Amino acid sequence: MPAPPPMLSADEALVRLQEGNARFVRGEARFPTVQKDVLADLAKGQHPFATILGCSDSRVPPELVFDASFGELFVVRVAGNVLGASILGTLQYAGSHLHTPLFVVLGHEGCGAVEAAVESRFHGATHGSRIEVLLEEIVPALEGLDPRQEHDALLHAAVEANVRHTIAELRRTPEARARAAVGGMKLVGAIYELASGTVRFLDAE
């Protein structure tokens, strides 16, 4: 396994961000560039075609994963792709004001938040108080899982169960029920595979 890159200080990280932005502005970005007239149009408003609720994990950036450009995705990221009051408010904004027709709950293999919830639920592990609040959103999804499974298999099942749990919670909101009743929204779950980069979309169950 290759050695991890050296840890940057906060100042070094800030410089890296600034240098990256400077390359982008000069049209020398390492990723596909966007013409200035496109940016000017986007400054007038956004019209994303999908809303993505994903994890904060640095290895799973939805815009890159889905090869999307500026203004195409409305992205909400939180550890464990869980719901909370502020997340629900953000998703409500996406539906009520941006009218995105597609909502995707995007989990990923090897999710640290889900793994922490598994350790907490089945092995009595404890975490910092604010982390525990986060894990409380995940633990209900783990009911029905067999803790006797091999660790990787259990984590794989837990990641998918967490995505399905979040979808079920979203479907119970008044806004989702109202939009679904008129055919104005599609809500799907998906799992990102870290090693291959493939997104596996779950069935509509």
Strands 186-192, 102-108: pairing is: parallel
d(CA 145, CA 164): 13
Q: pLDDT, tens digit, for every residue of 28-47?
A: 876 666 677 788 888 999 99
114 touches 56 (CB < 8 A): no
The arithmetic mean of pLDDT across residues 132-145, rounded, is 94
* pTM, entire model: 0.86
Q: Is 111 annotated as a binding residue?
A: yes
Q: Is 152 annotated as a binding residue?
A: no
Is residue 5 helix, strand or coil? coil
Q: pLDDT, tens digit, for every residue of 173-187?
A: 988 888 877 777 889
What is the pLDDT of the chain when averaged over all its residues? 88
pLDDT at 23: 83
Q: Is 55 annotated as a binding residue?
A: yes
Is residue 168 helix, strand or coil? helix
Q: Is 11 annotated as a binding residue?
A: no
Domains and CATH numbers, the chain: 9-45 (no CATH), 46-201 (3.40.1050.10)
